Amino acid sequence: MAALSIDLPLSMADVRRLRAGDTVLLSGELYTARDAAHRRFAALLARGEPLPVPPGCCIYYAGPCPAAPGEVIGPCGPTTGARMDAYTPAVLAYGVNALIGKGPLGAAVVAAMRGRAVYFAATGGAGMLIASCVRACEPVAFLDLGAESVYRLRVEQMPVIVAIDATGGNLYENTGN
- Whether the CB-CB separation of 46 and 91 falls below 8 Å is answered with no
Which of 18, 13, 31 shows the shortest CA–CA distance to 100? 31
Contact by Cβ (8 Å): 157, 32: no
Q: Which of 6, 20, 38, 98 is catalytic?
A: 38
Stated as kind and residue range, the H or E segment containing 121 is: strand 118-121
67 catalytic? Reply is no
Distances (CA, A) of 139 to 19, 53, 70, 108, 123: 32, 11, 17, 30, 23
Q: Which residues are catalytic?
A: 38
